[in-house]
Amino acid sequence: MKSTKDWIEKHHVIIFGGILLFTIVVRMIALGEIPQGLHVDEAGMAYDAYCYANYGVDRYLYPNPIYLINYGSGQSVLYMYLAALCIKIFGFSITTIRLPAAILGIITVILSYFIGKKYKSKNFGLLFMALVAICSWHIMQSRWGLDCNLMSALVFMGIYGMLIAKKWWHYVILGCIWGISLYTYALAHVAVPILLCVLAIYSLWTKKIKIKELLCMLFPIIIFAIPLILFHLVNMGMIPKMPAEWIGIPIIPDYRSSEFNIMNIFQIFLHPIQSLQELFGFDANDYNAFPLFGTIYYISIPFAIIGFLKGIKAIGKSIKEKTFHIDAVMTISFIVLYLSLKTVQNISINRINSIYVLLLYFTALGIVYVVKKKKQILIGIILAYTICATCFLYYYFGIYGKNNSNMSFNHDIIPLTQYLEKFEGKRIDIISYAVQPYIYTLLANRESPYDFNSTKQEANTTKGDYGKYYYNYAEIHDDMVYAIKYPERKNTDFENKLKEAGFKQEEYLGYKIFYQ
């Protein structure tokens, strides 16, 4: 063990560089191609980002929106603004709109090293960094543009800031980071204030922070929070809708405040197996975790539990001795975030993503504890994680990456739309089981949001008929082209009627194209 430790310390810089290079490669390579296509929420964000980058409004013509309507249930705006900036710099592409997720994922890996190095050791920093770098969940969430995918990075930055801040202006910057984190996801509106209150009490108790420094942090948080407070007051009907001249505060048709219920926390104790699956397993969404690998690899479970128990012990000791300790901070953050995020119904891995880097910290603690007890096991642990990561990368970039029938990411409507442009002067009806197909035609044609809104057939956010495009219209007109795709690939009564009416047929990307 000693020789292994010495070897790691001797080659510290090379190992750090190797982990960093691995991190960048697996988060950037083929970013626009894997996952194939665009998730419906990713596509909604992408079109809003395109609109803002080129017209200064979102797709519903709100200038500088503080929240997006999306398809009616809303979407946080930070990712959209970052994607719009990338579009301004690099132009529009799938790679461009996924850059914010990849960049913040890489930053998270780097910060994990510096946290471990500063408060533990250089070797612990490398271990923590390596665990985040190879983590299946973290790689997956760093490769596509969902608004909540930024929450884990911003919350981790905030926790890092709480650890390193010393001067008053550090706390001002820290307050800005926490304030910006409120725009990563709606659940941050609940989780972040609760976490900040608990961490502030702990920091005051352990004399890490003074009242003056706390106020320096609190002031920018309040400034950032004011627009969101107004947004919630408007949508709860407590104040009238505000004019959207300089800032957009939209009315969300499907405002989801009813999803929050503190009694949901008790589900942890009523259904402990389900809670363990949320932490280490998978859910119904294949873009969060694969059943074969789980969130942080199943091999991590015993180490994470050991590390968490050490963190609980650190909290007791830290409070008793009034000493500020990183293990206590990480454990308090994990407990508070998990409990506060559990207040929402229909929990999923992407909704509670801010806890997983903390789980990886516990995993690192557990590995160090086990290796100290039995030094020979280190090589076995390294080998086991290497096998897990290798198998995951093969599956993700190979089997999963080449699967173009993935229902979570639509890959065919954008090229289909471009193909259908050859039918000049025709209206187009796209008939399929695709979710919100109109957003993909908007992206394919780079439609102006003003043209979209002036030609929309309905104001309903989930019915996107506009201009010459219709979706699941299924009425026969000679001036209409029909692109039909069903998973069964069987002829329907409507297809038979089109044939009887003399429509010609061709195929493209699995769609049956009917036209006069």
Domain range summary for the chain, segments of one domain joined by +: 2-400, 412-515
Residue 511: phi, psi to the nearest 5? -95, 140
CA distance 170 to 176: 10
Residues forming beta bridges with residue 260, ordered by sequence position: 344
228, 185 in Cβ contact below 8 A?
no
Pairing mode of beta strands 38-39, 409-410: antiparallel
Cα–Cα nearest to 332, from 175, 173, 194, 214: 194
CA distances from 471 to 43, 63, 145, 254, 429 (A): 17, 28, 25, 22, 5
Residue whose entry in the numeric block shows the structure tokens 């180490």? 303
Q: Quick check: bond before 415 cis, omega within 30?
A: no
d(CA 508, CA 99): 30
- Name residue 117's amino acid: K
Report which residue type is found at 161.
Answer: G
Residue ranges of the chain whose pLDDT lies below 50:
1
Give me the pLDDT at residue 208, please: 93
pTM, two decimal places: 0.93
What is residue 460's predicted lDDT score, i.e. its pLDDT? 55
Q: What is the pLDDT of residue 45?
A: 97
- The phi, psi pair for 427, rounded to 5°, reads -85, 155
172: CB partners within 8 A, 6+ apart: 216, 217, 219, 220
Question: What pLDDT does residue 3 have?
Answer: 67
CA distance 124 to 119: 9
- Output the pLDDT for position 15: 94
Q: How far apart are CA 36 and CA 134, in angstroms?
A: 21
pLDDT of residue 492: 80
Total Cβ atoms within 10 A of residue 72: 12
Q: Which phi and psi angles does 368 have, rounded to 5°?
A: -60, -40
Q: Give the pLDDT confidence score for residue 1 in this predicted structure.
A: 47
**What SS3 state is found at 242?**
coil
132-146 tens-digit pLDDT: 999 999 999 999 999
Determine contact, residues 435/446, Cβ cutoff 8 Å.
Answer: no
Strands (E), 415-499: 427-431, 469-471, 480-484
